[in-house]
């Protein structure tokens, strides 16, 4: 099997957090089609685990879904060169008010590969120390703690739908949960 | 905690599979910011399980990542009203050449909630019957079978990164894998 061949990539819109491109792509039979491509600088996320084994989650309003969601803390990299572990530690402190010097890689995901290169590195954070929340302007989150078994149940009953959160809960439960 | 308030939504680009909008959003303090919003019609995916317990996967080239990926079969809904289970059954047959009349819901995910409403319903398919592959024009996939334990390992060693595939492998392994 051969790769598709990209003939051109043209920026058609520069957004607030994403850039949209129109690609001309040639398939193995020589046909040329337009593909959407969204360039994203990458992100990191973290599953913070308290000394009692509870998972620290954030609840916030998501404009793209028109509803509140329950998620693990996450945020965009400060530029494509920022290490994911540095971003994860920062977002942990900013969103939950906990610090950790004990971050361990869990999984990495590409969120939506049909049209976007967004990659999220996901860490488990332990040995949480109380610090203070420091949200971005316009960012409002509630911090809530759950047992991992409660979160697993919320995935299977479709109460939690966010892909990074679903993948992390399941990957954590498989590795550490029992 | 209050929802954000969307003041307007303006279509700025109509792509091949997505539409991009610029939203004006007012936060709880009254500040107004631009948000990117990508409208997506939704998708479905399927974990096909053979009578021997192997998982049927597809390998294909992804333009957005510039590489081949190993994924569960998936595809876009034929319009927003198509039931996910119908789409999942169709994509199973088209991409792998297997039919199934035994589909069971596993999980549902929103792939990238910071800027997109894409939702993927994911099913487990059993009692697979040989039919024939019927790919879209320009679509080329190799079909490969794996034990679930091999796939779990490929997630933890970051060989598999696709979010729907990572979430499904982990959710399946938790529910049925042992």
What CA–CA distance (Å, rounded) separates B97 from B108?
24
| pLDDT at residue number B178 | 64
Condensed to tens digits (0 to 9), the pLDDT of residues A3-35 reads: 899 999 999 999 988 999 999 999 888 899 999
Residues B108 and B151 in one domain: yes
Instruction: Indicate which CATH number applies to the domain containing A115.
Output: 3.90.79.10
Whether residue A69 sits in one domain with residue A155: yes
Give me the residue label for tokens 């079909």: B143
Strand pairing report for B119-126 and B43-48: parallel
pLDDT classification of A131: cutoffs 50, 70, 90 = very high
Beta carbons within 8 Å of A99's beta carbon, 6+ residues apart:
A89, A92, A93, A128, A129, A130, A131
Q: For chain B, how many structural domains are there in total?
A: 2
Range(s) of the domain holding residue A31: 5-39
Q: Are residues B92 and B173 in the same domain?
A: yes
CB A17 within 8 A of CB B36: yes
Q: Are residues A127 and A166 in the same domain?
A: yes
B89: CB partners within 8 A, 6+ apart: B46, B99, B100, B103, B125
Shared domain check, A94 and A11: no
From A42's Cα to the closest Cα of chain B, the distance in A is: 12
d(CA B33, CA B50) in angstroms, rounded, equals: 50
Active site residue A93: no
Q: Which residues on B lie below 8 Å from A34 (Cβ)?
A: 15-16
What is the predicted pLDDT for the residue at A3?
87
Which of A33, A65, A158 has its CB closest to that of B113? A65
B99 and B135 in a common domain = yes
Q: Which positions of B are annotated as active-site residues?
A: 137
Chain B residues in contact with A35 by the CB 8 A cut-off are: 16, 63-64
pLDDT at res. B28: 83
B19-26 and B5-14 strand pairing: antiparallel
Average pLDDT over residues A41-60: 97
Assess whether A72 and A88 both reside in one domain. Answer: yes
Residue-level pLDDT, tens digit, chain B, 178 residues: 778 999 999 999 999 889 999 999 998 888 999 999 999 999 999 999 999 999 999 999 999 999 999 999 999 999 889 999 999 999 999 999 999 999 999 999 999 999 999 999 999 999 999 999 888 777 789 999 999 999 999 999 999 999 999 999 999 999 998 6
Give how far B99 is from chain A: nearest CA, Å: 24
What is the chain B residue with the closest CA to A113?
B64
- To the nearest whole Å, the CA of A129 is away from the closest chain B CA by 25
Confidence of residue A80 (pLDDT cuts 50, 70, 90): confident
Angle at B95 between CA B94 and CA B101, to 5 degrees: 60
Q: Which of B30, B111, B149 to mutate to test the interface with A (most CBs of A within 10 A)?
A: B111
pLDDT digits (tens, 9 = 90+) for B132-165: 988 877 778 999 999 999 999 999 999 999 999 9
Q: What percent of chain A has pLDDT over 70?
A: 99
The shortest C-alpha distance from A84 to chain B (Å) reads: 14
Q: Report the pLDDT value the prediction gives residue A139, as an integer from 0 to 100.
A: 79
Query: What b/e readout covers A101-114, taking b as 16+ CB neighbours within 10 angstroms?
Result: eebeebbbbbbbbb
pLDDT at A166: 98
Chain B residues in contact with A1 (beta carbon < 8 A): 59-61, 68, 140, 142
B132 in the same domain as B52: yes
pLDDT at A178: 63
pLDDT single digits (tens) A81-111: 999 999 999 999 999 999 999 999 999 999 9
- Burial of residue B138 (CB within 10 Å: 0-12, 13-18, 19+) is middle
B22 and B55 co-located in one domain: no
| Residue B80: predicted pLDDT | 86
Rg of chain A over all Cα atoms, to the nearest angstrom = 18
Whether residue B21 is found in the same domain as residue B50: no
Q: In this predicted structure, what is the pLDDT of residue A47?
A: 98
Look at residue A175 and give its three-state secondary structure: helix
Find, among A59, A137, A64, A97, the residue nearest to B28 by Cα. A137
Q: Are residues A31 and A46 both part of a single domain?
A: no
Of the residues A137, A139, A145, A150, only one is catalytic, namely A137
- Cβ atoms of A86 and A42 closer than 8 Å: no
The rounded distance, in Å, linking the Cα atoms of B43 and B79 is 10
Reported ipTM: 0.96
**Using a CB-CB distance cutoff of 8 angstroms, which residues of chain B are in contact with residue A60?**
1
pLDDT at A133 over 80: yes
For A39, A46, B1, the CA distances from A160, given in Å and listed in that order, are 26, 16, 19
Nearest residue, CB atoms, A113 vs list B107, B114, B162: B162
Whether residues B90 and B168 fall in one domain: yes
């Amino acid at each position: 099997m051969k790769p598709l061949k990209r003939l051109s990539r043209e920026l058609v819109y520069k957004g607030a957090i994403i850039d949209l491109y129109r690609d001309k792509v040639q398939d193995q039979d020589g046909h040329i089609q337009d593909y959407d491509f969204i360039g994203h600088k990458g992100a990191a996320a973290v599953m913070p685990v308290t000394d009692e084994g509870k998972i620290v989650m954030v609840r916030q309003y998501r404009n793209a879904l028109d509803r509140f969601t329950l998620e693990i803390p996450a945020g965009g990299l400060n530029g494509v060169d920022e290490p994911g572990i540095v971003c994860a530690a920062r977002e942990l402190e900013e969103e939950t008010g906990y610090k950790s010097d004990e971050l361990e890689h869990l999984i990495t995901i590409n969120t939506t590969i049909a049209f976007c290169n967004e990659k999220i590195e996901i860490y488990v954070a332990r040995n949480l120390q109380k610090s203070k929340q420091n949200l971005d302007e316009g960012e409002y989150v509630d911090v809530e703690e759950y047992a991992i078994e409660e979160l697993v149940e919320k995935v299977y009953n479709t109460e939690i739908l966010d892909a990074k959160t679903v993948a992390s809960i399941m990957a954590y439960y498989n590795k550490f949960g029992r």
